[in-house]
Chains A and B, each alone.
Chain A
Amino acid sequence: MTTTQMQALASQVRRDIVRMVHAVQSGHPGGSLGCTEFMTALYTSVMNHDPKNFTMDGRGQDMFFLSNGHLSALWYSILARTGYFPVSELTTFRKLNTRLQGHPTPAEHLPGVRVASGSLGQGLSVAIGAALSKRLRNDPNLVYTLHGDGELQEGQIWEAAMFAAGRKVDNIIATIDYNGKQIDGPVDEVMPLGNLRAKWEAFDWIVLEMDGHNFNDILSTLAKAKSLTGNGKPIVILMHTHMGQGVDFMTDKHQWHGSPPNDKELESALSQLKETEGDY
């Protein structure tokens, strides 16, 4: 897929996100909008995966784990738009009997989802376990994850970081949505992360950085990350993003972490996002 095509898809995904959270007046638009380019690039042009043949054990394919499960609207849109399930199913988001639960879960057997996430800080450990299972069966495919920066305040993340380096788990590429915002305000006020690059380096991870809104940078950084796998070290990418990217009144505002737009705000948001592939 060309970056122009990715731009077009990303615009549609952003429309999906704001429409989904507006429809049920709940959900998390901020982080979802901020990670749209990353997820679009990952699922259309980076991962080795087969949407029509999803398997829980991911044998012979790359695997992805969304650790910050509140980005469910983004993930569901990406999964649907890349063929995991019908796009029309996005209408069921957060409604009774849906497979598209508020936070992702395999309990409803939605293709693409392998573990529940929502309670933060657990996805890195799970992804490391999946990476170990690949190592045990000599499967050369990789495991990708996405985490919030606020999520890094959870202690389990650093337990996992220590484990991955100590056990030389070098088939995993973790990405941090480094937008500097969390529910209660700026990350630096709520609980400062300090020198995040130095922290990961001190845990003996390879650290890369990229602009999460630039497809060329995302693609080249992920390509570089891929080339660095298999060398005895886990890899983390600090992805610089803006919460609420693509919708002017949401951009860089932590208040949009978990608030839905009202009717007027939806109209304004949609006027800024081109319908490229047809609304669900």
Chain B
Amino acid sequence: MTAYTSNEQKDTRSGFGAALLQLGRINPDVVALCADLKGSLKMDAFAKEFPDRFFQAGIAEANMIGVAAGLAIGGKIPFTGTFANFSTARVYDQIRQSVAYSNTNVKICASHAGITLGEDGATHQSMEDIGLMKMLPNLTVINPCDYNQTYKATLAIADFKGPVYLRFGRPKVPNFMPIDQPFEIGKAILLSPGSDVSIIATGHMVWLALEACSILNEQGISAEVINIHTIKPLDTEAVLQSVKKTGCVVTAEEHLMNGGLGDSIAQLLSLQLPAPLEMVAVDDKFGESATPEELMVKYGLDVPHIVAAVQKAISRKR
């Protein structure tokens, strides 16, 4: 049974904003750039307290990424902020050449990732960003699960030398990770030990995986829940160790199947430890307008889908 509980709902983007302000206070090299979304990205407090270290780039994301690369070359630690779509797809070649290939110490921080952006619809919902970013050599890709983990991840990437893609979201979701839980880039966190199936989840889906774990427990199924916050580099050791024990896997993420966490796990397992795998993710579709809750149900990103995927994965073991 899971020991994790949540008494509050908080948005992950606010965890980013709070940590960025903290970084401003403790690290004079940290600077921030934003493409006309500083309210949405919760960068207001940093901008107000450090006006000389905050650069409003306007609605010009390509230039923002380039300027950030230049600031990094000059020894600064730039954090860029805009929505996930505009942080990745819109500026892919700028990230590829000026950040990834040049290995500049830029922190690309992306809010409103996934389908839970909601009513704005598919133009603004990014469900391919993890895939785009993990394809690029040198890039580290991190997708924290709640406010506290986003806070810790934001602090951690400032101390890490190299380009990072940090992905978080818009809605208020359960805040359940203890704030004193250590955050180590590339290190998975075992949330709940189990023996019948490994549920490997990232981002907003981690809490839903824990809820599914409780339901499964009542059905007599012992599920192990692993939080993968770092998609790349993947903690292969943690995954393999778990699957050796449980013999089957369900991945859960607010992303397309193509290019997401499930895709990384599938590659790992088929190369090293073939095992039944089910993916809770969006299958090659764009999203649409609705509330985040409605969309999570319609696109199969909810607790019943995780439970069903677990049952299927276990049945394939036999």
A: residues with CB less than 8 A from B are 56-59, 105-107, 114-119, 121-134, 136-137, 155-156, 159-160, 162-163, 166-167
User: Does B67 reach chain A (CB closer than 8 Å)?
Assistant: yes
Which parts of B88-114 form the interface with A (CB within 8 Å)? 93-94, 96-98, 101-104
Using CB atoms, name the residue of chain B closest to A143. Answer: B70
Provide the residues of chain A in CB contact with B58, threshold 8 Å.
159, 162-163, 166
User: Does B190 reach chain A (CB closer than 8 Å)?
Assistant: no
Provide the residues of chain A in CB contact with B57, threshold 8 Å.
163
User: Out of A119, A132, A137, which one reaches B97, CB within 8 Å?
Assistant: A119
Provide the residues of chain A in CB contact with B71, threshold 8 Å.
129-130, 132-133
Provide the residues of chain A in CB contact with B68, threshold 8 Å.
129
Q: How many angstroms between the C-alpha atoms of A162 and B35 in the bound complex?
A: 13
Using CB atoms, name the residue of chain B closest to A106. Answer: B102
Using CB atoms, name the residue of chain A closest to B91. Answer: A156
A126 B66 Cβ-Cβ under 8 A: yes
A interface, by DSSP: helix, strand, loop or mixed? Answer: helix
B70 A129 Cβ-Cβ under 8 A: yes
How far does the Cβ of B101 sit from chain A's closest Cβ, in whole Å?
5
9 A-B pairs with least C-beta separation:
A129-B70, A133-B74, A125-B66, A159-B63, A159-B60, A57-B75, A129-B67, A130-B70, A126-B70
- Given A59-B75, A136-B76, A163-B57, the answer on whether A125 and B67 have CB atoms closer than 8 Å is yes
How far does the Cβ of B215 sit from chain A's closest Cβ, in whole Å?
49
User: Does B78 reach chain A (CB closer than 8 Å)?
Assistant: yes
Q: How many angstroms between the C-alpha atoms of A57 and B105 in the bound complex?
A: 12
User: Does B308 reach chain A (CB closer than 8 Å)?
Assistant: no
A163 B97 Cβ-Cβ under 8 A: no
B67 A128 Cβ-Cβ under 8 A: yes
How far does the Cβ of A65 sit from chain B's closest Cβ, in whole Å?
8
Using CB atoms, name the residue of chain B closest to A67. Answer: B66
- Given A105-B101, A106-B102, the answer on whether A129 and B72 have CB atoms closer than 8 Å is yes
Using CB atoms, name the residue of chain B closest to A115. Answer: B102
How far does the Cβ of B48 sit from chain A's closest Cβ, in whole Å?
18
B75 A107 Cβ-Cβ under 8 A: no
A116 B62 Cβ-Cβ under 8 A: no
B55 A167 Cβ-Cβ under 8 A: yes
List 10 A-B pairs, Cβ < 8 Å.
Answer: A115-B70, A119-B97, A123-B66, A125-B70, A128-B66, A128-B70, A129-B68, A133-B74, A156-B66, A160-B63
A126 B98 Cβ-Cβ under 8 A: yes
User: Does B265 reach chain A (CB closer than 8 Å)?
Assistant: no
Q: How many angstroms between the C-alpha atoms of A130 and B73 in the bound complex?
A: 6
Q: How many angstroms between the C-alpha atoms of A272 and B72 in the bound complex?
A: 43
Using CB atoms, name the residue of chain B closest to A139. Answer: B74
Provide the residues of chain A in CB contact with B104, threshold 8 Å.
115
A163 B60 Cβ-Cβ under 8 A: yes
Provide the residues of chain A in CB contact with B52, threshold 8 Å.
136
Provide the residues of chain A in CB contact with B97, threshold 8 Å.
116-119, 122
Q: How many angstroms between the C-alpha atoms of A58 and B73 in the bound complex?
A: 8
User: Does B31 reach chain A (CB closer than 8 Å)?
Assistant: yes
A132 B67 Cβ-Cβ under 8 A: yes
- Given A119-B93, A122-B66, A125-B66, the answer on whether A57 and B103 have CB atoms closer than 8 Å is no
Using CB atoms, name the residue of chain A closest to B61. Answer: A159
Provide the residues of chain A in CB contact with B63, threshold 8 Å.
125, 128, 156, 159-160, 162-163
A129 B69 Cβ-Cβ under 8 A: yes
Provide the residues of chain B in CB contact with A156, threshold 8 Å.
62-63, 66, 94
- Given A126-B69, A160-B63, A162-B58, the answer on whether A116 and B98 have CB atoms closer than 8 Å is yes
Q: How many angstroms between the C-alpha atoms of A125 and B67 in the bound complex?
A: 5
Provide the residues of chain A in CB contact with B103, threshold 8 Å.
106-107
Q: How many angstroms between the C-alpha atoms of A105 and B96 in the bound complex?
A: 12
- Given A59-B75, A133-B74, the answer on whether A126 and B67 have CB atoms closer than 8 Å is yes
User: Does B65 reach chain A (CB closer than 8 Å)?
Assistant: yes
Q: How many angstroms between the C-alpha atoms of A115 and B94 in the bound complex?
A: 11
B70 A132 Cβ-Cβ under 8 A: yes
User: Does B312 reach chain A (CB closer than 8 Å)?
Assistant: no
User: Does B53 reach chain A (CB closer than 8 Å)?
Assistant: yes
- Given A116-B102, A126-B70, the answer on whether A136 and B31 have CB atoms closer than 8 Å is yes
Provide the residues of chain B in CB contact with A123, threshold 8 Å.
66
How far does the Cβ of A60 sit from chain B's closest Cβ, in whole Å?
12
Q: How many angstroms between the C-alpha atoms of A115 and B71 in the bound complex?
A: 12
Q: How many angstroms between the C-alpha atoms of A106 and B101 in the bound complex?
A: 8
Q: How many angstroms between the C-alpha atoms of A106 and B103 in the bound complex?
A: 8
How far does the Cβ of A168 sit from chain B's closest Cβ, in whole Å?
12
Q: How many angstroms between the C-alpha atoms of A159 and B91 in the bound complex?
A: 13
Provide the residues of chain B in CB contact with A107, threshold 8 Å.
101-103
- Given A57-B73, A129-B74, A162-B58, the answer on whether A105 and B67 have CB atoms closer than 8 Å is no
* 5 more A-B residue pairs beyond the given contacts A107-B102, A115-B98, A122-B93, with a C-beta to C-beta distance below 8 A: A125-B69, A132-B67, A133-B71, A133-B74, A160-B63
Q: How many angstroms between the C-alpha atoms of A127 and B70 in the bound complex?
A: 6
Most A-side CB within 10 Å, residue of B58, B74, B93: B74
Using CB atoms, name the residue of chain B closest to A131. Answer: B70
Using CB atoms, name the residue of chain A closest to B63. Answer: A159
Provide the residues of chain B in CB contact with A117, threshold 8 Å.
97
How far does the Cβ of B240 sit from chain A's closest Cβ, in whole Å?
31
